[in-house]
Amino acid sequence: MDTGGLGGHPRGLTTLFFTEMWERFSYYGMRALLILFMVKTAADGGLGYDTKKAAAIYGTYTMSVYLLSILGGFIADNFIGARRAVLVGGIIIATGHFTMAINSEVTFFAGLVLIAMGTGLLKPNISTMVGSLYTPADDRRDAGFSIFYMGINLGAFVSPLVTGWLAQSAGWKSLLSGWGLNPLHSWHWGFAAAGVGMTLGLIVYVLQRERLAHVGNAPAPEADGSRPWGRLGVVALGSLILIAAMKACDTYPALVYVLFALQIAAILFFAFKPDPDSKRIAAILVFFFAAEIFWAIFEQTGSTISLFADELTRNEFLGYSFPSSWWQSVNSVWVILLAPIFAWLWIRLGARQPSSPAKFALGLLFVALSFVLMVPAAKLTAEGKVGPMWLVGLFFLQTVGEMLLSPVGLSTMTKLAPQRLLGLVMGIWFLAAALGNKLAGVLAGEFRSENAGDLATFFWHQALAVGACTLVLFALVPWVKKLMGGVR
Ligand code: GLN
């Protein structure tokens, strides 16, 4: 057993930690600029889109990034293996960022498409490689994913500060002018910085490749030496159709119920088949459903919570005021503080830790509680802006929930997936995030800040709905454990 890495974990974990840290640095650094760059006028160096158009592009982009994980996972499983998929994905992502460093609309969109495709290749496969570092019975696995998750959030925390400073600060603009460069192009310096982050990640990955030489190998071709090109076409086409179908939810919100009904039908279909693989797929789909509900609340950080922060909160700390956008980093700060505690807790509890479905139910409970906390906060807005501690509390509760669900979900997928479908199953896990992001957008559309009573009801209804899902999931824990067939 390799215990030579971070905290007694395999040495490959450190490599994946830093590669993913830089990849997330790029992703979140760019994401922080995206909407702003689109809505700023040409006089400010932006594209001058209206908010509606910018929000639609933003939503489609963030959904596609996660949705293309299915394709990326399939390519790794059937063609090139996870290890090479991460390398190729990283190169495509860096190319995308550098493309966006050029000031034109065509390069902007080309860059977004490249980043979405590259992330689809990298994100699910780097996650499965973390799992491959451990044997199925290794109790360090959930702890390993908690540490990996910390890398994600180190990148996510620092990058908006760096890219935001390059893109928006007066200081950097005057430096550019001083060098004889156009200060309006500051945005593109932000995009390029994201590309530099990804490049650094790739350098770490290549230099330390021998630590990962035993995981993520390419699969052997079929007996006749061929590869499943036909099925690749089907998966690619299916992904495009799914993106289009999800976009249709904007026009026909009732489609969301069809989506739920389909998921429940799929769970029952697989659960009542006799073979163990089908039962495990049913368990994966239960986790999928729970994760989708979780992200639908959690991903309102960029919408509902950002509006609450901007319009209804006194953004002051120890007498200093700060921009409302800084709230976007608070979740990452909590993850960095809490991840070591959870990693320690899972190691400490060892075989006595709660089962993964129980951890998921607890995750849902905490995200529901975060919106319960917002009910009195919303009521208090009748008397004016509220203090910052409400949002600090909200992010604390959400992050506890996230630590119980998200790294645990990554870990559970790597345990439940049949070896030859590892990448695909991880892609399905990220599909839950894609759908959750979309649902979050639909829910946030109901946010109104004018009436405190209505706002309290807005939070309360969502808390109740998620609370009900939590109870159902708790009740299902024994059944899901049975479906998992011995996997914890
Ligand atoms: N914040 C995490 C990340 O960036 C989780 C994303 C997700 O699965 N929705 O990896």
Residue 225 sits in the same domain as residue 265? no
The model's confidence at residue 121, banded by pLDDT at 50, 70 and 90, is very high
User: Which of 212, 229, 249 corresponds to the end of one domain?
Assistant: 249
Read off the pLDDT of residues 129-176 as tens digits, 9 standing for 90 and up: 999 999 878 888 888 988 899 999 999 999 888 888 888 888 899 999
- Give the span between the Cα atoms of 240 and 288, in whole angstroms: 20
Cβ atoms of 97 and 81 within 8 Å: the answer is: no
**Residue 298 CA to ligand 1 centre (angstroms):** 11
Range of the domain at 294: 252-488
Higher pLDDT, 377 or 139: 377
Residue 151 sits in the same domain as residue 167? yes
Mutate which of 27, 405, 406 for ligand 1? The one with the most ligand atoms within 8 Å of its CB, which is 406
Cβ atoms of 60 and 52 within 8 Å: the answer is: no
Q: What is the mean pLDDT of residues 63-74?
A: 93
Q: What is the mean pLDDT of residues 6-12?
A: 85
Read off the pLDDT of residues 323-370 as tens digits, 9 standing for 90 and up: 777 787 899 999 999 988 998 998 899 889 899 999 999 999 999 999
Residue 223 sits in the same domain as residue 284? no
User: Which of 249, 278, 310 corresponds to the end of one domain?
Assistant: 249
| Tokens 């919106």, located at residue | 371
The model's confidence at residue 60, banded by pLDDT at 50, 70 and 90, is confident
User: Which of 200, 228, 249 corresponds to the end of one domain?
Assistant: 249
**Does ligand 1 have an atom closer than 6 angstroms to the CB of 334?**
no
- For residue 290, the model assigns a pLDDT of 97
Q: Taking the CB of residue 476, how many other CB atoms lie within 10 A of it? A: 17
**Residue 365 CA to ligand 1 centre (angstroms):** 19
The model's confidence at residue 487, banded by pLDDT at 50, 70 and 90, is confident
Residue 92 sits in the same domain as residue 235? yes
- Report the mean per-residue pLDDT for the chain: 91
Residue 239 sits in the same domain as residue 339? no
Residue 356 sits in the same domain as residue 262? yes
Residue 215 sits in the same domain as residue 290? no
Residue 198 sits in the same domain as residue 340? no
- For residue 475, the model assigns a pLDDT of 97
**Does ligand 1 have an atom closer than 6 angstroms to the CB of 24?**
yes
User: 314: buried, middle or exposed (CB in 10 Å: 19+, 13-18, 0-12)?
Assistant: exposed
Residue 370 sits in the same domain as residue 440? yes
145: number of CA atoms within 13 Å, CB side? 25
Element (H, E) at 477: helix 452-484
Residue 243 sits in the same domain as residue 258? no
- Give the span between the Cα atoms of 334 and 327, in whole angstroms: 12
The pTM (predicted TM-score) of the whole model is: 0.88
Residue 441 sits in the same domain as residue 453? yes
Kindly state the percentage of the chain with pLDDT values over 70.
100
- For residue 250, the model assigns a pLDDT of 75
- For residue 441, the model assigns a pLDDT of 79
With 80 as the cut, is the pLDDT of residue 322 above it?
A: no
Beta bridge partner(s), residue 149 = none
- Nearest residue to 208 (alpha-carbon basis) of 11, 4, 405: 11
Residue 243 sits in the same domain as residue 309? no
Nearest CA to ligand 1 atom 9: 433
The model's confidence at residue 30, banded by pLDDT at 50, 70 and 90, is confident
Structural domains counted in the chain: 2
Q: Identify the CATH number of the domain in which residue 206 sits.
A: 1.20.1250.20
